[in-house]
Copies of this chain bind each other. A is one copy, B any other.
Amino acid sequence: MTAYDDLQARFHRIGAIDGALSMLGWDEAVMMPDGGSEARAEQVATLRQIQHEMLTAPTVSDLIAAAAGDALDPWQAANRREMRRRWRHATALPADLVGALSRATARCEMVWRTARKEDDFAGFKASFASVLQLSREAMAAKAAAFGIDGYDALLDQYEPGMTADRLDVLFGELAEFLPDLLDRALAVQDERPQPLTPSGQFPIEAQRQLSVRLMQALGFDFNHGRLDVSHHPFTGGIPDDVRLTTRYREDEFAQAMMATLHETGHALYERGLPASWRYQPVGEARGMALHESQSLLVEMQLARGPAFIGFVAPLIREAFGVEGGPFTADNLRHWLTRVSPGLIRVEADEVCYPAHVMLRYRLEQALLSGDLVIDDLPGAWADGMMTLLGVEVPDDRDGCLQDIHWPGGAFGYFPTYTLGAMAAAQLFQAVRDAIPDLDVLIGQGDFGPLFAWLGTHVHAQASFGTTDEILTGATGAPLSADAFRRHLEARYIGD
C-alpha cells in the first residue's frame, strides 16, 4: 500500500464521519426536541474529537510528506493537496484552544439568542469578548503555522486561497459603482408605479407542493433528498441524501418559494459532486463562494429574471387558486426585484446586500486586529449603515446583534456571500453565452441544459481546481465584479 493509499483509506473514514455529523446536524435543526440538545452535543463532540485525533495523528503528517513521492494522477494529486489543507487547519491549533473555542462559541450563541431578543448588547459583551479573544489566538496560531497573514488564514477556512488583499480589490470594484447604481435604481423604481403586493392567505400545504414542483422542475431527485421545515432555511445532509429546508408563512408565499429555490441551488451542487470521489477531500464542494454562487444563481440570476417568472407565475396562480393584477408575471417581476435599503442583511435585495457584507468585513477585521473595541461596535455599525446605505440603526437587535456568525466564531465567512453573488453573475453570463436560447428554455420550464452546463463546469469539478481555476474554465476569466455590475445595471436601471 502506498502512502497515498493509506491516506485515502484514513480520509475515507473521516469523510464517513463527516456524513454522520451532517445528518446529526440536520436532525438537530429539523427534528430534535429541545431536551435532546445536551446528549446531541455530546455525540457531536465525541465524533469531532475522534476525527481530530485521526487527522492529527503523527503518522498522517509522515504520510502526507511521503505521498508527495507517490506516482499520482492529477485528481489524486489534488486530493493530496486538499488532505494537506484540512490537516494543516486541524494541526495548527492546540487541542486545548479548540476545546476552549468550542465551549466559548456554544455559550456565546446561547447568550446571543437572548441578547438579540432583548436588545441587550451589554449582556452580550462579556461572552463575545471571550469568543473574540480566543478567535484572535486561533488566528495567530494559524498565521504562524501557515506563514500567512492571520485574517487570510481565517478566510482560507471558508474560501480556500482567498486573501484580504484580493478582497480589497474585489470589494473596491463594487464600492466604485454600487452607491451610484443604488441611487439610480431607486430613481428608476420611483418613476414606475409601485408593484401590487400579492397579499392573501397561502395555505402551507399548497406552498409545500409548489416548492416540491419547482425543485423537481430544477432536477432535484427526491430519491436522494428531502424538503423539510426549519427556523432558518439551510441545506444539509450529504450528496446522496441532500436535506434542504425552507420555512412558510401563511400570509406570504414568496419568501418560502425563494428560500426553497436558493437552497435547491446549494442542493444541486452537492448532488452533482463526482460520485467517484465521495468521502475524499477533493470530492467536496470547492468553497463557500462557489456554493453561494450556485444558490444565488438560482435565486437571483434565474428565479427573479423575466423568463423564469413567466414560467412560474401560472404555477403560483394555480397553486393558490388566485388571479389578477398582483399575480401577473409583469407585476411579480417588479415585486420580486424591489430595491429597498434596510437594516437586515438576510432580507436585503441584491443591490444592497454587498453593503451589508462590506460593513461586516471591515468591522470584523478591526475587531480582530484590536483597532475596534467591542464597546465601540454599536456606534461603528450605525455609522457604517448610514454611510453605506443611508439607513438609521434604531437598536442593536437589528444592528450588530442580528447575525449568529460572530457569536459562533465564524470570522472570515461574511465575504463569501458577496463573492458568491459575483460568481453567480459571471457563471450565468457564461451559460447565456453557451446556450443562446436559454430564456426560451427557462420560459418553458426546461432547466436541463442549464444544470447540465453547471454540472459539467462547476459541480463535477468539486475541489479539483481552485475557485479561480474553476471560474476560468467555466467563464474564461477569474472572479471579478464585471458580470455582477452588468447584471445589476441591466436589471435595475436598464429596463
- Which residues of A line the B interface, CB within 8 A? 13, 16-17, 19-20, 23-24, 27, 31-36, 38-40, 42-43, 45-47, 49-50, 221-226, 237-241, 278-279
Top 8 nearest A-B pairs (CB, nearest first) are: A36-B241, A35-B224, A16-B46, A35-B223, A39-B240, A20-B43, A19-B43, A16-B42
CA distance A237 to B225 in the complex (A): 22
Q: Which residues of B sit under 8 angstroms from A24, Cβ to Cβ?
A: 20, 23-24
Q: Which residues of B sit under 8 angstroms from A35, Cβ to Cβ?
A: 221, 223-225, 240-241
> Is the Cβ of A33 less than 8 Å from the Cβ of B279?
no
> Is the Cβ of A31 less than 8 Å from the Cβ of B33?
no
Q: Which residues of B sit under 8 angstroms from A23, Cβ to Cβ?
A: 23-24, 27, 40, 43
Q: Which residue of B lies closest to A50 (CB)?
A: B50
CA distance A100 to B33 in the complex (A): 38
Q: Which residue of B lies closest to A32 (CB)?
A: B241
CA distance A226 to B31 in the complex (A): 8
CA distance A47 to B54 in the complex (A): 13
Q: Which residues of B sit under 8 angstroms from A224, Cβ to Cβ?
A: 33, 35-36
CA distance A32 to B22 in the complex (A): 13
CA distance A17 to B42 in the complex (A): 9
> Is the Cβ of A42 less than 8 Å from the Cβ of B279?
yes
CA distance A24 to B27 in the complex (A): 9
Q: Which residues of B sit under 8 angstroms from A50, Cβ to Cβ?
A: 13, 50
Q: Which residues of B sit under 8 angstroms from A221, Cβ to Cβ?
A: 35
> Is the Cβ of B33 less than 8 Å from the Cβ of A46?
no
A267 to chain B minimum Cβ distance, whole angstroms, is 13
CA distance A49 to B39 in the complex (A): 22
26 interchain pairs (CB within 8 A)?
A13-B46, A13-B49, A16-B42, A16-B43, A16-B46, A17-B46, A17-B47, A19-B42, A20-B24, A20-B43, A20-B47, A23-B23, A23-B40, A33-B222, A33-B224, A33-B226, A33-B241, A35-B240, A35-B241, A36-B224, A36-B237, A36-B240, A39-B240, A40-B241, A47-B47, A50-B50
A34 to chain B minimum Cβ distance, whole angstroms, is 6
Q: Which residue of B lies closest to A221 (CB)?
A: B35
